[in-house]
Structure 1
Amino acid sequence: MLEEGLPRPNIDMAGATRLADEVFGVTGAVRELGSQQDRNFLVASRQGDVLLKVSNRAFGRAEIEAQNAVMRHVRAAGIDVPVPLPSQTGDLISTVEIDGEPHHVRLLSFVAGTPLIDRDRLTPSDVAALGDLTGRTSLALAGITHEGLERRDLQWDLRSGEDVVRSLADSVPDEARRARVLDALAAVTAMLDDLRDALPVQTVHGDLTDDNVVMRVERGACILSGIIDFGDAMTSWRVAEVAVACTAALHREPDDPLVALPLVRAFDRHVALTDGELRALWPLVVLRGAVLVVSGLQQVAIDPGNDYAAEALEREWSVFASAASLPFDVAERAVRLALDRPAAPFNAPPAVVPAVGDTTAALVDLGWSSDDLREGDWLEGDGTAAEARAASAAAPDDGVAITRFGEGRLTRATATGLRPPVNVGLGVDVHSDGPVAFRAPIGGEIARTADGHLAVVSNGVALVVAGLESSPLPGTTVAPGEPIGTCAGLATVWATTPTAADGPHKRFVTRALFRGLRSRYADPTALLSSSVDVESADDIGATDEATLARRARSYSPVQGHYFEDPPRIERGWREHLIDVDGRHYLDMVNNVTVLGHGHPAVARAAERQWRLLNTNSRFHYSAVAELSERLLETLPTGAFDAVLLVNSGTEAVDLALRLARAFSGRPDVACVAESYHGWSLAADAVSTSTSDNPRAGETRPSWVHVLDAPNAYRGRHRGTAAGAAYARDAISRLGDWAASGTPIGTFIAEPRNGNAGGIAVPPGYLGAVYDAVRAGGGVVVSDEVQVGYGRQGEVFWGFEEHAVVPDIVTMAKAMGDGHPIGAVITRGEIVDALADQGTVFSSAGGSTLSARIGVTVLDVLLEEDLPGNARRVGELLRSGLIALAEQHPLIGAVHGRGLYLGVELVRDPVTREPADTETRIVCDRLRDLGVIEQPTGDRGNVLKVKPPMCFSAASAAFFLRALDIALAELE
């Protein structure tokens, strides 16, 4: 059968229509669905869609009966699958003649959904979902046996997969491809020879791939809704089920076969893979790919009209090529690590004589913790120049600097990237200012690798060196300590297993691939020098889940963190956050770090002031006066004359409320819904956002009164007249409160609702409400903690947008570029009202350090024209987001201005139903794509867009590209 092939039954849609009517009494429009060896027809009958399946003539009745039994068994396990429907004579299997040959025909219920293969890209969660479904199916099938499942003569039974490839290899017309398939086959056979009898056997679906799984999209999430086509159900190796499923991930990401790991992990949660299965898994993935290649080409040769098979040919080759690109030992280690069952890494034996002898050596740090990489110099060019500078600084006099094995180098990462960087050192570099003699650290034979490098190969390790001159000839045997060449400035060294010595050897790989490659690569540092301490390469740059666990144990979880599985961020530069693997993420949420991360001017000012003095503001020094004067200069002339310095926005709001109460003599405060002002007792009381405090309505004290959020997009009043309408409502309620004996003494609001997503307060609202509050004897507070300090571009303070002047202004966040500093600015008469209650004091507020940093931030803000940058780049962002809204209906509105924007996602543009689930999915996907983004707003459906104000046009373009990808995957 293998050599003859399995041409599909010769029946067209007219014949299928006739069969459906005559045998099953079903009529309706008929459409053919794809199949490699059977014929499948969808019949849209009045009773609903059904599937007419004409099985290949090669399959006997017992096999068809077994398929029916398997489907019923899986359906009973709660998984949606087809089930057989009776013919007009009550039979579940009917036999008809086609071209004079008997063929079995069935009518099956139709499992609705879109084939998973139609999804352009599978996210990690999609891949994991396929693994979960595969695991549940395998678990269900473990309990069924049937004579029709035993030793079916199928091409797809991986127990006979090697025979299939051998017999059909000539179907591959390209000689290079054929040779590659046969080489892979030899490796598979060598690996499986010791494993075959140890692999558990059970009933399997046999083809659980994206062709045979259907999905639906619910609120942006891809839900795998069912399994179709049980034509390959059989008894086979259990692990074959997951090996086959892995191929669905590979053809979409052929350059990264490790994308299949979430699938294996999810499968293993249901069906724990044995040690033998872990060893056999990747060889079987490769074997499945090879079978797909040869079978597909043969099928097209014998059935030229089979478009389904023809269209799959290149996809099937990419599956094979991707799987075969990963050595079995590397794949096995990567899988074991993913399952928390790691195998011991390869480690090099100790040197007999260190390769650089008595030459003094020092490690050079090129990772996140490096002090020798400064001010983003690692992003210059290809990073080589920065590496050389750092190595020169680290190297001892007349010595060498050695890079760290397994380190995620900043110098080999990029500022933006949709994929993790290829920056983890698989070898180490040896930097020197002059010639350095290398000696053989171990005895062995000299060889040349596939990429032309020198190798000293012993029984226990191979030392590979690139960049040596005057090396011995290949075939020469060297003893420990014998010269093997001279390094004239830079050499790269790998320590690998003797079997992998021939190479080629990559200098850099991804972190995920590095972990797998530890099966064959070791740290060569100890072979090079005895004067440096070797660190564990398996710790350097690791995600460090232990740190997250320590945080959870000691740092109260009530303080929260972004993401369920957060990257460990330890460094930043400008608008980028950098994790311990050196990956740069675009920071879209840090309105605190207004100048950008790691600004050298702030670092210098902080260091110098620390060396001079740091004490509280009750001492006399110039910085506190300078900062206060500079702050007043940013505000309307003559409107304010008193600055009070604190250490946070919460403290600023708390103090502002106390000042307003003292001056007005009234305890009652009016605020607006969906706002956030802080976490202290008073600031939380006037914070109405349920996203920050779900019990805000229950815990609100009687002295707090809430006005409707003046939201012209989704509130009670909409459109251009919304401001006046909301103002009328507010003034009416102010009057009601006064009449009931609780006149408002303080009105607090942001001039743009930051926590809700940068949503505009509509024109006319603030002016009218300010006038009404003041007319009633109250005080108005503009909370500028989030939206002030030039972030909106056109105005320095948010209230300026409304042509109003408040009585009190609160600010923080941007003031210190991440250092804790805040301020309350008002008039002297308001401050004087609090004088009889004692002086105001904040230990860190206005300290010498805080004040000096505050002045420096203002200097840089203006010198670098960051408000102007916020205006220019903000407009690029806003325009780009509006263009994305035209392509993606999920974007309901783009709020904000400058670099304080909000992208509101809705499920329906008319009802504006909040797309909260989709927003979380988008944020998680953006993290995969190199962007840190978070939801905001009471409905959790607005994307924060408030990056550092140094945000560049290039970063804006990258964000828009990543968001476009994330949104497209939801549609």
Structure 2
Amino acid sequence: MAAFAEGVPSFADGLPRPNVTIDEVRRLAAELYGVSGEVRELGSQQDRNFLFTESASATEAHGRRVLFKISNRTVRRDEIEAQNEAMRRMHAAGHPSPAPLPSVNRRDIETADVDGAAHSIRLLTFVEGTPLIDFEHFSADTIASMGALVGTVAATLAGFEHPGLDRELQWDLRLGEQLVEELIDHVADPERRAFMLGALEDITASLAPLKGELPLQAIHGDLTDDNLVATAGALGRPELSGIIDFGDVGTGWRVAELAVACTAVFHHDPARPLAVLPLIRAFDEVVPLTDAEIDALWPLIVLRGATLVVSGLQQVAIDEGNDYAEAALEREWTIFAVPAALDSRVATAAIRRALGRPVAPGPATTSRDATLLDAELARRTRIITLDHTSTALRDGSWLGDEGAEAEAQLLLLAARTGGVAATRFGEPRLTRSVGVAHDAPVNVATGIELYSTAGLALTAPFAGLVSSAEGHVTLTDGARTLVIAGARGLIEGRSLEGESAAVPTRVDEGDPFAEIDGWAHASLQLGEVSAPDAAAVPVPRFVTAEEFPAWLAVLGDPSELIGLAPSEARAEGAGADETLRARLDTYAPLQGHYYAHPPQFERGWREMLIDTEGRHYLDMVNNVTALGHGHPVLADAVAQQWRMLNTNSRFNYASVAELSARLLETLPDGFDTVLLVNSGTEAVDLALRLTKAFTGRDDVACVEESYHGWSYAADAVSTSTSDNPLAAELRAPWVHAFDAPNAYRGTHRGEDAGQRYAADAVAELERLAAAGTPVGTFIAEPRNGNAGAIEVPTAYLSAVYEAVRAGGGVVISDEVQVGYGRQGDVFWGFEQHAGPGGEPIVPDVVTVAKAMGNGHPLGAVITRSEIAQALADQGTFFSSAGGSTLSARLGVTVLDIMRDDRLQENAREVGGYLREQLLGLAERQPLIGAIHGRGLYQGIELVRDRETLEPAAAETLALCDRMLAIGIVVQPTGDRGNVLKVKPPLCFTKESADTFVAALDEVLTRGL
């Protein structure tokens, strides 16, 4: 490859676009290429691009589309010839890209006068597809596919040589530092300009020793989301389909091709700079990166962003009316600022980890180091815990403004008892989380905090140079720097003040070097920190859990410097993934788990689940925990009962009678007997046994798409194929499944669907009786919960109940999921249904669990005494835990809390509000086919077509994964897997409803 032309190019004058009108474009296209038709301009910063759509012929569905391109007048002809040849090479390798078309004179390039100067003009084939930038959300798979494509382009262009590749191009990152320096005055905002100049200084320092080691080759130079085109594939996700705009083809660093591509990711997910790692990993699999390229990559990414910013601002200044350039300005600032805000050493460590390359460790303490505190004070130092394991943080005290106050109070209390209090390094603090939020919290501590109720002198743990300014003291031995924020420098018993404080002073190990009064923050950093003022300290006090492992290449654990054992800073591979592997090794996978890569939840509060990284998620699926997570009244009642007594129901104690009486109070007259069990499955199993004994009949009728439990009998009447794909094949001969009464997508639809479904069921009951197998029991949920909160249509249950009883059978209302106040306007689901005269329907047996114990194993069968007594000749019934003192006290307390916290009323009010919001969302999101349910038991059915009702199962699953990434736990249900469960704890608030609806709207709008 040839070197740059002699001399250093200047970019100060800029490159205004060719000044041409649409009429001139039409004339030139017709004269030079014989092209006419509809024309519109496509965006470009320095060239002019026009899309022609020719008229369709009689045999064509639409006319040919071609790109008419007028290059900037500064582009040489041999440069354009090189671009054309690069396109041909890509075509030969099978990669869709533009190709030059011949003019009427059979030339690939024509020259014409535009605005008084000669310009090169081409006609190119048009690559169909949508620019990737128009897809708002990039999944990890999409990002990885970008990396694979960019790597393929680099591999294809390797070895390509042409005189036109040697260009003095402003986008060549070999000239990037010069470009930014020349154009920096276009950055008018002083803070932004200072930030960019600081970044440029770091870039120069990082790249200087690497430039001679970076491989050169022909590169496309602009493989961004503007120039990669895609089609909407499965789930609406982009599938890359081509490459456009070869205007920046030239010789450059090979790694610059990757750096440019990486910048396309940041404005799509600005809170996660490391979201770019899949792209880098995929590129490396095609074109293995050298060590020098890995070390240069992040500085080059930042440099590319900086060149975009200054060039864009210059273009707007010199090219009035360039809407394309002006519209990109804030996006280009994000492309620069996001990676520039992350220490390049940290980013490089993250890249090395992602590529499986060795990472140098961060600074460490040694056995020779002394401590900051004297031995007695170090021994009495109290450590406070602020992560998910903290027992001092309770009842949501860590949230909002109270979090900082709780942190301060805990430090103060610990200091009063020990003299000094300290926090833990690498700890994901609850107090630094913000509740449910779109992005992961910035809450992992990069240092430790010290708090003393009195003035405290710190002694140097190692010999080095001390300096002080702006409330920071630094001690460095060259290889590492200890930074104490909130401290004053101290030399030979006197405080360092004024200009002398900034002058490095030598201290020996054990010498006093800093003093604190109250709070201080200590961090151990790699290398020498040049200045202790706040602006120059590069390490933030908190980082995200995703970034923290990479920060360990820069940070050390200062715990040992105060005489404490090292904190257990988490390394990659630890945490949720490791826990999942351990689970799968020992806990039968048959028991299943949500998500392919689930968070590790170890805590909860109200309608939130909290993982081990301190992130809070909105819990949309825990109908088991009806009261909400961590309810303090329930926790205190359970703890008190454990201290008092826990034994089984064969002993005589009050709470089992109290719970039974309280349950009967919620039901119509006629119910007089309660049997307590451990779960909903046991409740259904026992209910079936009771009704079989009472009627003397084995045959049971149920409805399709339902779930009632996992025991032999409960599973036998469970028809849902989502829970058991072989449910129909394995169905016992004594089980008879009626058509699922679904008026939305079932056999019968519309207002009279209930009557028609009932007629079918009654006919089947009559057929079974005539065949000598009369039904003794009918079991159904009053709302089909497992199918997605599907409404059982009007008139269905009353007719079926009547027919079953007329034939000598009894009916069970399975309320395990849909009862206990969850639907808001009624306590029991069967209360929603009435007979033809409006009279309420009443089942013979009610089964309940889940909410009854708020997650504790507790369920009940509630019936009439004659039905219960039918089992007496088979012995007495007993459940060890079902009616224990603990379970009974807990059950009573749950009912108390539901009453005192008005949770059924809340389900009605907030559930109604949520339903209204979801119905409004459905009007603008076509993937939503229907909103089922009421109260806080709802289902959002997703369909690909509202006419055919084709289930959007894959989309539903992908949506759940995407929602998890932005802090919402929601899961699919139903035999088609296309209904979102909406059954949060009953303490759910309108604010949480708004959060959920907004998140769902975002995902459906931006893509999966």
**1:14 equivalent in alignment to 2:23:** yes
SS state at 2:629 partner: coil
Query: Partner of 2:859 in structure 1?
Result: 822
SS state at 2:1003 partner: helix
> Given that residues 406 and 540 in structure 1 are in contact (C-alpha distance below 8 angstroms), is that contact kept between their aligned partners in structure 2?
no
- One-letter code of the match for 1:344? A
Query: Partner of 1:963 in structure 2?
Result: 1000
> Given that residues 186 and 314 in structure 2 are in contact (C-alpha distance below 8 angstroms), is that contact kept between their aligned partners in structure 1?
yes
Q: Following the alignment from structure 2 to structure 1, what is the Cα–Cα distance between the partners of residues 108 and 903? A: 74
Summarize the Cα distance change of 1:134–1:621 in structure 2 as closer, same or farther, 3 Å threshold: farther
> Given that residues 758 and 896 in structure 1 are in contact (C-alpha distance below 8 angstroms), is that contact kept between their aligned partners in structure 2?
yes
- One-letter code of the match for 1:940? G
> Given that residues 382 and 420 in structure 2 are in contact (C-alpha distance below 8 angstroms), is that contact kept between their aligned partners in structure 1?
yes
Q: Following the alignment from structure 1 to structure 2, what is the Cα–Cα distance between the partners of residues 396 and 541? A: 38
1:29 is displaced (CA, Å) by 0.3
> Given that residues 81 and 164 in structure 2 are in contact (C-alpha distance below 8 angstroms), is that contact kept between their aligned partners in structure 1?
no
Moved more, 600-609 or 779-788: 600-609
1:755 is displaced (CA, Å) by 1.2
**1:430 equivalent in alignment to 2:450:** yes
Q: Following the alignment from structure 2 to structure 1, what is the Cα–Cα distance between the partners of residues 90 and 906? A: 60
**1:356 equivalent in alignment to 2:388:** no
Summarize the Cα distance change of 1:581–1:114 in structure 2 as closer, same or farther, 3 Å threshold: same
Query: Partner of 1:704 in structure 2?
Result: 735
Summarize the Cα distance change of 1:146–1:683 in structure 2 as closer, same or farther, 3 Å threshold: farther
- One-letter code of the match for 1:432? S
> Given that residues 217 and 970 in structure 1 are in contact (C-alpha distance below 8 angstroms), is that contact kept between their aligned partners in structure 2?
no
Equivalent in 670, 687, 690 of residue 718 of structure 2: 687
Q: Deviations over 1:912-934 (max 9, x none)?
A: 33222332232222212211111
Query: Partner of 2:935 in structure 1?
Result: 898
Q: Following the alignment from structure 1 to structure 2, what is the Cα–Cα distance between the partners of residues 466 and 236? A: 44
> Given that residues 149 and 203 in structure 1 are in contact (C-alpha distance below 8 angstroms), is that contact kept between their aligned partners in structure 2?
no
Query: Partner of 1:397 in structure 2?
Result: 417
SS state at 2:887 partner: helix
Equivalent in 840, 861, 874 of residue 911 of structure 2: 874
Summarize the Cα distance change of 1:669–1:860 in structure 2 as closer, same or farther, 3 Å threshold: same
Summarize the Cα distance change of 1:85–1:866 in structure 2 as closer, same or farther, 3 Å threshold: same
SS state at 2:528 partner: helix
1:72 is displaced (CA, Å) by 4.3
Query: Partner of 1:316 in structure 2?
Result: 332
SS state at 1:189 partner: helix
Query: Partner of 1:586 in structure 2?
Result: 618
Q: CA RMSD in A?
A: 2.8
Moved more, 927-936 or 584-593: 927-936
**1:207 equivalent in alignment to 2:222:** yes
Query: Partner of 2:387 in structure 1?
Result: 367
Moved more, 434-443 or 784-793: 434-443
**1:940 equivalent in alignment to 2:957:** no
Summarize the Cα distance change of 1:781–1:883 in structure 2 as closer, same or farther, 3 Å threshold: same
Equivalent in 530, 544, 567 of residue 535 of structure 1: 567
1:181 is displaced (CA, Å) by 4.1
1:750 is displaced (CA, Å) by 0.7
1:765 is displaced (CA, Å) by 1.0
Query: Partner of 1:236 in structure 2?
Result: 252
Query: Partner of 1:570 in structure 2?
Result: 602
Overall identity of the aligned pairs, in %: 57
Summarize the Cα distance change of 1:769–1:175 in structure 2 as closer, same or farther, 3 Å threshold: closer
> Given that residues 649 and 656 in structure 2 are in contact (C-alpha distance below 8 angstroms), is that contact kept between their aligned partners in structure 1?
yes
Summarize the Cα distance change of 1:657–1:567 in structure 2 as closer, same or farther, 3 Å threshold: same
Moved more, 225-234 or 836-845: 836-845
Equivalent in 486, 489, 506 of residue 467 of structure 1: 486
> Given that residues 111 and 119 in structure 2 are in contact (C-alpha distance below 8 angstroms), is that contact kept between their aligned partners in structure 1?
yes
1:280 is displaced (CA, Å) by 0.7
1:846 is displaced (CA, Å) by 2.3
SS state at 2:474 partner: strand
Q: Following the alignment from structure 1 to structure 2, what is the Cα–Cα distance between the partners of residues 139 and 776? A: 78
- One-letter code of the match for 2:442? V
> Given that residues 444 and 457 in structure 1 are in contact (C-alpha distance below 8 angstroms), is that contact kept between their aligned partners in structure 2?
yes
Q: Following the alignment from structure 1 to structure 2, what is the Cα–Cα distance between the partners of residues 290 and 370? A: 43
The equivalences for 1:703-722 within 5 A come to: 703-722=734-753
Segments of structure 2 that go 5 or more residues without pairing to the other structure are 1-8, 57-62, 834-839
> Given that residues 373 and 390 in structure 1 are in contact (C-alpha distance below 8 angstroms), is that contact kept between their aligned partners in structure 2?
no
Q: Following the alignment from structure 1 to structure 2, what is the Cα–Cα distance between the partners of residues 74 and 226? A: 10
The equivalences for 1:45-64 within 5 A come to: 45=54, 46=56, 47-64=63-80
Query: Partner of 1:39 in structure 2?
Result: 48
**1:27 equivalent in alignment to 2:58:** no
The equivalences for 1:643-682 within 5 A come to: 643-682=674-713
Q: Following the alignment from structure 2 to structure 1, what is the Cα–Cα distance between the partners of residues 362 and 314? A: 42
> Given that residues 280 and 351 in structure 2 are in contact (C-alpha distance below 8 angstroms), is that contact kept between their aligned partners in structure 1?
yes
SS state at 1:492 partner: strand
Q: Following the alignment from structure 1 to structure 2, what is the Cα–Cα distance between the partners of residues 469 and 646? A: 65
SS state at 2:401 partner: coil
Equivalent in 949, 962, 966 of residue 925 of structure 1: 962
Summarize the Cα distance change of 1:126–1:452 in structure 2 as closer, same or farther, 3 Å threshold: farther
> Given that residues 348 and 460 in structure 1 are in contact (C-alpha distance below 8 angstroms), is that contact kept between their aligned partners in structure 2?
no
Moved more, 266-275 or 586-595: 266-275
SS state at 1:552 partner: helix
Moved more, 66-75 or 702-711: 66-75
Q: Deviations over 1:580-627 (max 9, x none)?
A: 111111111100111111122332233333334434434444333332
TM-score (norm 1): 0.93
SS state at 1:660 partner: helix
Moved more, 197-206 or 720-729: 197-206
- One-letter code of the match for 2:605? W
1:379 is displaced (CA, Å) by 1.9
Q: Following the alignment from structure 1 to structure 2, what is the Cα–Cα distance between the partners of residues 203 and 703? A: 74
SS state at 2:388 partner: coil
SS state at 1:156 partner: coil
- One-letter code of the match for 2:797? L
Q: Following the alignment from structure 1 to structure 2, what is the Cα–Cα distance between the partners of residues 88 and 736? A: 82
Query: Partner of 2:837 in structure 1?
Result: none
Moved more, 950-959 or 178-187: 178-187
> Given that residues 747 and 780 in structure 1 are in contact (C-alpha distance below 8 angstroms), is that contact kept between their aligned partners in structure 2?
yes
Query: Partner of 1:744 in structure 2?
Result: 775
Q: Following the alignment from structure 1 to structure 2, what is the Cα–Cα distance between the partners of residues 54 and 624? A: 87
**1:492 equivalent in alignment to 2:521:** yes
Equivalent in 637, 648, 663 of residue 631 of structure 1: 663
**1:330 equivalent in alignment to 2:349:** no
SS state at 2:519 partner: strand
The equivalences for 1:506-525 within 5 A come to: 506-525=540-559
Equivalent in 933, 947, 950 of residue 910 of structure 1: 947
> Given that residues 66 and 148 in structure 1 are in contact (C-alpha distance below 8 angstroms), is that contact kept between their aligned partners in structure 2?
yes
> Given that residues 744 and 773 in structure 1 are in contact (C-alpha distance below 8 angstroms), is that contact kept between their aligned partners in structure 2?
yes
Query: Partner of 1:145 in structure 2?
Result: 160
> Given that residues 65 and 148 in structure 1 are in contact (C-alpha distance below 8 angstroms), is that contact kept between their aligned partners in structure 2?
no
Q: Following the alignment from structure 2 to structure 1, what is the Cα–Cα distance between the partners of residues 871 and 93? A: 71
Summarize the Cα distance change of 1:178–1:830 in structure 2 as closer, same or farther, 3 Å threshold: closer
> Given that residues 678 and 684 in structure 1 are in contact (C-alpha distance below 8 angstroms), is that contact kept between their aligned partners in structure 2?
yes
> Given that residues 549 and 572 in structure 2 are in contact (C-alpha distance below 8 angstroms), is that contact kept between their aligned partners in structure 1?
no
**1:413 equivalent in alignment to 2:433:** yes
Summarize the Cα distance change of 1:71–1:622 in structure 2 as closer, same or farther, 3 Å threshold: farther
Equivalent in 839, 845, 867 of residue 808 of structure 1: 845
Segments of structure 1 that go 5 or more residues without pairing to the other structure are none
1:312 is displaced (CA, Å) by 2.5
Q: Following the alignment from structure 2 to structure 1, what is the Cα–Cα distance between the partners of residues 474 and 68? A: 63
The equivalences for 1:272-311 within 5 A come to: 272-311=288-327
Q: Following the alignment from structure 2 to structure 1, what is the Cα–Cα distance between the partners of residues 771 and 92? A: 65
> Given that residues 382 and 412 in structure 1 are in contact (C-alpha distance below 8 angstroms), is that contact kept between their aligned partners in structure 2?
no
- Pairs aligned (count): 966
> Given that residues 476 and 528 in structure 2 are in contact (C-alpha distance below 8 angstroms), is that contact kept between their aligned partners in structure 1?
no
- One-letter code of the match for 2:43? G
- One-letter code of the match for 1:430? L
Moved more, 116-125 or 566-575: 116-125
SS state at 1:565 partner: coil
Query: Partner of 1:482 in structure 2?
Result: 511
Query: Partner of 1:378 in structure 2?
Result: 398
